[in-house]
């Protein structure tokens, strides 16, 4: 089974702090994703990475950056946290296999509160 | 038009009922289709992939209509434990999965 581990289940930070959310996967998947999920808005893609040191903006990248220095680790960075970044953050991975549907595998999520 | 649209519900049904969820997607180049289940305050988990010929897994049946760009999920003999939010998910090759906002199901005794 794929294991996707997010560093914290719950996190409380202050406005203006730099916040790091870490995600580690053990299945050698090329693709990794960061989403946030808010009531009524569903899952929204922040950034994704399809290889080490590669990153692509998702639908809502503003206020965030990412780092993928190693294949197994994908970090989401809030450069200067703001209260509207209070949310549930979900990391996911996706492997590449020809000719078959590929689902994503999610971590448990991090509930981040910015005070 | 939103890329993946679902009726948000909630669908409130008694145990034993049959319930169907529908989903439409806008990009005809979409290649892979899934239904995920998400319990309250938990991460989404894959329920089943959706294949062109339709597929069944126990009480769950998924259908895909590429011409109409429409996906469905049928749940027979609903159980209390089926209460959750069901997410329709679509993938275009080389891009991230696109999630619908989910349909909430509540099964009561």
pLDDT tens string B16-37: 999 999 999 998 888 889 999 9
- In chain B, the residue whose alpha carbon lies closest to the alpha carbon of A98 is B93
pLDDT value of position A99: 52
Is pLDDT of B90 > 70? yes
pLDDT, mean of residues B86-97 = 80
Distance CA A6, CA A4 (A): 7
pLDDT value of position B93: 65
DSSP B49-90: EE-TT-EEETTEEEEEETTTTEEEEEE-S--GGG-EEEEEEE
Structure tokens at B88: 């329709």
Please tell me which of the candidates A92, A101, A107 has its beta carbon nearest to residue B32.
Answer: A101
Is pLDDT of B53 > 90? no
pLDDT value of position A98: 56
pLDDT value of position A97: 63
pLDDT value of position B36: 94
| Contact yes or no for B46 and A105 at CB 8 A | yes
Question: Which residues pair with residue A25 across a beta bridge?
Answer: A4
Query: Is the link from the previous residue into B10 a cis peptide, with omega within 30 of 0?
Result: yes
pLDDT value of position A101: 56
pLDDT, mean of residues B72-95 = 90
Between chain A and chain B, the number of residue pairs with CB atoms below 8 A apart is: 49
Contact A105, A92 (CB under 8 A): yes
Q: How confident is the model at residue B5 (pLDDT cuts 50, 70, 90)?
A: very high
Residue B60, number of CB atoms within 10 A of its CB: 17
Q: Report, as ranges of residue numbers, the positions in chain A whose pLDDT lies below 50.
A: none
DSSP assignment letter at B53: T
| A-chain residues near B89 (CB < 8 A) | 103-104
pLDDT value of position B94: 59
Is pLDDT of B107 > 70? yes
């Amino acid at each position: 089974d794929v294991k996707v581990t997010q560093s914290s289940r719950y996190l409380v930070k202050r406005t203006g702090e730099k916040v790091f959310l870490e995600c580690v996967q053990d299945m050698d998947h090329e693709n990794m994703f960061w989403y946030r999920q808010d009531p009524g808005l569903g899952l929204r893609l922040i950034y994704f990475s399809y290889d080490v040191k590669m990153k692509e903006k998702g639908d809502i990248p503003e206020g965030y950056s990412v780092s993928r220095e190693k294949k197994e680790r994908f970090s989401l960075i809030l450069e200067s946290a703001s209260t509207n970044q209070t949310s549930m953050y979900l990391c996911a991975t996706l492997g590449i296999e020809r000719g078959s549907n590929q689902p994503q595998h999610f971590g448990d999520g991090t509930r981040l509160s910015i005070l | 038009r939103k890329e993946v649209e679902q009726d948000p519900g909630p669908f409130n049904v008694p145990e034993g009922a049959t319930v169907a969820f529908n989903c439409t997607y806008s990009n005809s180049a979409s290649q892979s289709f899934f239904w995920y289940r998400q319990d309250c305050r938990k991460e989404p988990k894959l329920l089943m992939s959706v294949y062109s010929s339709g597929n069944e897994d126990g009480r769950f049946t998924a259908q895909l209509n590429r011409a109409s760009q429409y996906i469905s999920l049928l749940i027979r003999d609903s159980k209390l434990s089926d209460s959750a939010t069901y997410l329709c998910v679509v993938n275009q090759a080389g891009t991230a999965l696109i999630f619908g906002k989910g349909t909430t199901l509540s099964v009561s005794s």
